[in-house]
Amino acid sequence: MRTGTTVFHLGLGLAWLLIAAVTLWAVWRMGLGTVVPSFIAGYAHPWQAQFNTDLALHTLLAAAWIVYRSRSRAAGLLCGVCAVFLGALFTLPYVLAASIRAGGDMRRLLLGSRA
């Protein structure tokens, strides 16, 4: 495995550990019932609204990419839904697994079954 790929994989793993820790902290402090109200309440502040909209669009883009590259439409849709509702908690391990399966071939990583 090349050094760049190893660094990429480690970065994905560290990013996942960070988002998992922040998510666990949020659930511990506020519970799961406050997720949607907190997200919606953020739209009252212009910069929080910008951030939430940007985040939502990036999440939808990631979900669309996951569906597109999937061999099975049903599995792709299931993974896309997971990407939307779980965000980086799902997407980071997905990209890590896809990267390992692609063996460093960016075409296979990006296009999946369409490569």
Whether the model pTM is above 0.75? yes
pLDDT at 108 over 90: yes
pLDDT at 47: 95
Task: Tell me the mean pLDDT in the region 13-27.
Answer: 97
pLDDT at 1: 59
pLDDT at 113: 85
Q: Report the share of the chain in percent with pLDDT over 70.
A: 99
Asked if 114 contacts 68 with a C-beta cutoff of 8 angstroms, the reply is yes
Q: What is the DSSP string of 9-40?
A: HHHHHHHHHHHHHHHHHHHHHH-GGGHHHHHH
